[in-house]
Structure 1
Amino acid sequence: MPAKQAMTLEAPPGAVAAARAVAPRLSARAGESEQLATMPADLVSEVRQAGLFRLATPRALGGAELPPAVLVEVGEELCRADGSAGWTIMIGNSTAFLAWLDPAVAVELLGERTDVITACVFAPKGRLTPEGAGRFRLDGRWSFSSGCRHADWFVGGAMVADRDGPRMIPGRGPDWRLAVLPARDSTVIENWDVAGLRGTGSHDVTTSAVLVPERHTTASFFEPARHDGPLWRFPFFALAGTFLAGFPLGVARRALDEFARLAATKMRVPEQTSIAEEGDVQVALARAEGGLQSARAFVFETIGAMWDTACAGDVPTLDQRARFLLATQQAMRAALEAVDIAYSLAGSTVLPMNHPLHRCFRDIHTGAQHIYFSSASAKRYAKTRLGIDQPTFWL
């Protein structure tokens, strides 16, 4: 890894503004995205041209390399417009993970492109079989490959095969890697038919006997990035968490905003008073707002602590990373509560599938099933707090 260099990266102006500019169109066409089970092609082009698919790509590769707090804020704005669109765009920023490749190799892969979209699945559902010196044969099937219909590159988790099973690395365990390949070398199985996040196009992706040079694989979970600078001092999963942290905050914010508008006009019969005038509704809304805004502050507090450490030239500490994981867990819990409160108080008005509040309800409950927000992640924080030994690459 290059020598450490303490520095502060200023956010290029316009990233959040670009997200806010495209948001009305993402919101207006959320129903169309659900029907297509992917983001419409013209919206993909607009988002690409706005630079929103290169938010965290290294500057050396033509990206913006934004600070993590800005990544969360951009994701929050996009998910407030439409959870599926925001999820798809932030996952599409997985081109950032090419920072774990040798820099010359990453430049070779991308060529002159600076607006590349990448679909990524961490789960080791692939098998890398040695195929002569310096290359593997990749076979596998990966579920939940968000944005795969418009991706230029695919990054898939895979185990390197040995004669008797996965190759074992002393002191580490199975040789779990990410393999980088052009999207054209994979096949999309269109099977995305779920309740929420319907517009993400998270179909299955398969490969069969695709030859992948070893230099196009990385042990990102266990090794540092190959670039220098504060963002690349974040371990892999800490960086990945910044792509997801804005999702619950944005979806819940949209739900509460929708409810506040609805509450002023929805009348109770026979009282003929708006539900906004009911004390129980007011208390519930205040609780939901307090929980969400507190969780949001916690996310940005923990990101700020990690960023300060990274800008000072060090890797964020294990405790800092564990607290960030806890903060994202709390953000999802607060978001689920906020959305559920808004949905239950709104009544039958929001039952149609295309109602924004119904979409928030479906999206937040679907997103909550992601492994990053699972109870296993909560246990990782607790084990750190309690001093229980565990693999630390998840943090």
Structure 2
Amino acid sequence: MNKPAVVAKAGSQSASASEFDYKSAVRSILPRLAASTNESDKMRRLADDAANALRESGLTRTITPKQFGGYELSPSVHIRACAEIGNVCSAASWVLMVCVAHDYIIGRFPEECQREVYEGDADNLVAGSLAPAGVLEAVEGGWRLTGRWMFGSGCDHSPWFIVGARLTNPKPDEYMNYHVMVPLKDLVIEDTWFTLGMRGSGSKDLVVTNAFIPSHRAMPTYPTFLGISPHAKAPTYRLSVYSGLPAMLSGSVLGMAEAGLKAFIEATAVRSTPHGVAKAKNLIMQKRVAESAAEIAQARRLLEDMCDRFDKLIEADQAPMSAEDRIQMRWDSAYVVELCRRAIDRLYVVSGAHGLYEGNPVYRAYRDIMTACHHAVIDFDTVSGLMGQFTLTGDLGENPRERHRLTPADYPLNAG
């Protein structure tokens, strides 16, 4: 499917940022998302009604620039919304998480690019893949882009895509990595998404062959992701993508874990052994559910703390974020996901033979979380290594070839 589903406009979309109530928006669509979960899973992409529900709710414009009809809110709103939706539909939570995270990046692109993406429909779901798997070649007026990207979550519903690429032969004064906006007409979706979990996310391959990219649709990755793009006109876009994306992802995973814990408790309450002994009275079951519940509760506290920190950083509006803030928030995000992974793994082991079936909600939470935790930005071993490195040496391990190119002009708050 290479054509985004058509969506009817809803009145909530015209609300101002100050009037937008994300909690009400989430509650209004939970029944539709829950009803579409099995369909998304079977189709291996987000069901059309689920995608429409997300757009109609206004949640897709949470971080979209105000200039183009968005709310331009703190990442904390998006993170909490994704966690709540993850309680009923992992696919919808994941697709919303990824696409709004891309809005978080597009707000740092030139106004001309933002207008192309959002004008006429601020509720666009922008899919993509941030890995620098493409090749950019400089040509008159812009670039030529070729590449194949995996993991294009939500791609079946997207008219625009953001992808990562590298310059073929960067000059000494050029950045090596870029992120690029590509319209659907210049891209082919290949159905490669056959996986253990997160099936409903439809994270298929994206292929671009020798497409022309106007210069205003490409931005150097390092300063853009660090939050010091000269086009970042609001505090939200001056936060670090390296911290924001992992936090958003951890919100979705937490919602899945909370759903899995609830399903396990409900199932165990009515299970019994072949001899008629209630499973809920078994000490092993009690210990496992106690430990898993504690881990998920701690994950929720960490997530809420990150949300509060995002709000404080926006209020302070001092770009770029400090190295301490960036690594701490990435570490906390990875630890939230690891706590959820441990918790659901511990419960699934004692779910019994019924836990083997596709429709079992504990099994669904298990396979979705096990799949989600493989995402590079929250890989526990990688991030724990970075946190340990920073703690011991003060070095974040950033690519010096990119970092050394920063100049005072890269800082919009300080530039003359």
Quote the residue 1:238 is aligned against. 243
Give 2:328's aligned residue.
Answer: 323
The residue number in structure 2 matching 1:37 is 44
- State the Cα deviation string for residues 218-244 of structure 1 (Å, max 9, x = none): 124323242333312211222222321
Asked whether the equivalents of residues 246 and 334 of structure 2 are also in contact (C-alpha less than 8 Å), the reply is no
Change (3 A) 1:380 1:234: same
Q: In the alignment, which residue of structure 1 is the partner of 2:264? A: 259
What is the rounded CA distance, in whole Å, between the counterparts of 1:43 and 1:298 in structure 2? 29
Shift of 1:190: 0.8
Q: Is 1:125 the equivalent of 2:133?
A: yes
Tell me, what secondary structure is at the counterpart of 1:139?
strand
Match of 1:181?
Answer: 182
TM superposition shift of 1:149: 1.0
Match of 1:277 among 277, 281, 291: 281
Which residue does 2:391 correspond to in 1? 385
Q: For residue 193 of structure 1, give the secondary structure of its aligned residue in structure 2.
A: coil
> Any stretches of 5+ residues in structure 1 without a counterpart?
1-8
Residue range with higher mean Cα deviation, 101-110 or 40-49: 101-110
1:60-71 maps to which residues of 2 (within 5 A)? 60-71=67-78
The normalised TM-score by structure 1 is 0.90
What's the CA shift string for 1:284-305, capped at 9, x where partnerless? Answer: 2111111111122122223423
Note the C-alpha offset of 1:26.
2.0
- Which residue matches 1:341? 346
Deviations for 1:324-370, whole angstroms, at most 9, x for unmatched residues? 11111111111011111221222112211122111111100000111
Query: Is this contact kept in 1: 2:32–2:49, CA < 8 A?
Result: no
Give the Å deviation of 1:168: 4.9
Q: Which amino acid aligns with 2:297?
A: Q
**1: distance between equivalents of 2:290 and 2:22?**
31
Tell me by how many angstroms 1:391 deviates.
4.0
* SS across alignment from 2:326: helix
Name 1:299's counterpart in structure 2: 303
Deviates more, 1:344-353 or 1:206-215: 344-353
Mean Cα displacement is larger for which, 216-225 or 243-252?
216-225
Structure-1 separation of matches of 2:218 and 2:45: 28
What is the distance in 2 between the residues matched to 1:20 and 1:262? 25
Contact 2:149 2:205 in 1 (8 A): yes
Identify the residue that residue 364 of structure 1 maps to in structure 2: 369
Whether the 8 Å contact between 2:17 and 2:71 is mirrored in structure 1 is no
Residue identity (%): 23
The one-letter amino acid of 1:274's match is A
Tell me which residue corresponds to 1:248. Answer: 253
Give the Å deviation of 1:47: 1.6
Q: Distance in 2 between matches of 1:168 and 1:354?
A: 54
Cα displacement (A) at 1:135: 1.0
Indicate the larger mover: 255-264 or 294-303: 294-303
Task: Give 1:48 shift.
Answer: 1.0
**CA–CA distance in structure 2, aligned partners of residues 295 and 392 of structure 1:** 27
Residue among 79, 95, 110 paired with 1:102: 110
Please state whether the residue corresponding to 2:330 is helix, strand or coil: helix
1:311 and 2:315 matched: yes
Task: Verify the 8 A CA contact 2:79 2:307 in the aligned structure 1.
Answer: no
Quick one: distance in 2 between partners of 1:11 and 1:289? 35
Q: Is 1:88 paired with 2:69?
A: no
Q: SS in structure 2 opposite 1:346? A: coil
Q: Following the alignment from structure 1 to structure 2, what is the Cα–Cα distance between the partners of residues 37 and 307?
A: 35
Confirm or deny: 8 A CA contact 1:103 1:227 kept in the other structure: no
Aligned-pair Cα RMSD in Å: 2.2
Counterpart of 2:222 in structure 1 is 221
The amino acid of 1:103's aligned partner reads E
CA, structure 1 residues 303+317, in 2 after alignment: closer, same or farther (shift >3 Å)?
A: farther
Residue 205 of structure 2 corresponds to residue 204 of structure 1: yes
SS in 2 for 1:116: coil
Q: Matches of 2:259 and 2:246 in 1, distance apart?
A: 21
Structure 1 212/336 Cα, relative in aligned 2: closer, same or farther at 3 Å?
same
Q: Which moved more, 1:34-43 or 1:228-237?
A: 228-237
Read off the aligned partner of 1:207 and give its amino acid letter. V
Residues in 2 aligned to 1:11 and 1:292: alpha-carbon distance in whole angstroms? 31
Taking the aligned partners of 2:241 and 2:222, their CA distance within structure 1 comes to 6
Count the aligned residue pairs.
379
Q: Quote how far apart the aligned CAs of 1:10 are.
A: 7.6
Cα drift, residue 388 of structure 1: 4.4
Q: Spell out, residue by residue over 1:183-237, the C-alpha distance to the aligned partner (whole angstroms, 9 max, x if none).
A: 2210001111011001111110101111000111012432324233331221122
- SS of the residue 1:142 aligns to: strand
Structure 2 residue aligned with 1:53? 60
Q: Distance in 2 between matches of 1:230 and 1:378?
A: 28
What does residue 5 of structure 1 align with?
Answer: none
- C-alpha displacement of 1:25: 2.5
Q: Secondary structure at the match of 2:195?
A: coil
- CA deviations 1:81-104 (Å, max 9, x no partner) are 121221112112223321111224
Residues of 2 paired with 1:305 and 1:384: CA distance?
Answer: 20
* Residue ranges of structure 2 left out of the alignment (5+ in a row): 1-15, 403-416
With the length of structure 2 as denominator, give the TM-score of the two structures: 0.86
Q: Relative to 1, partners in 2 of residues 1:96 and 1:64: Cα closer, same or farther, differing over 3 Å?
A: same
- Closer, same or farther in 2 for the Cα pair 1:169/1:382, shift >3 Å? farther
More displaced stretch, 356-365 vs 86-95: 86-95
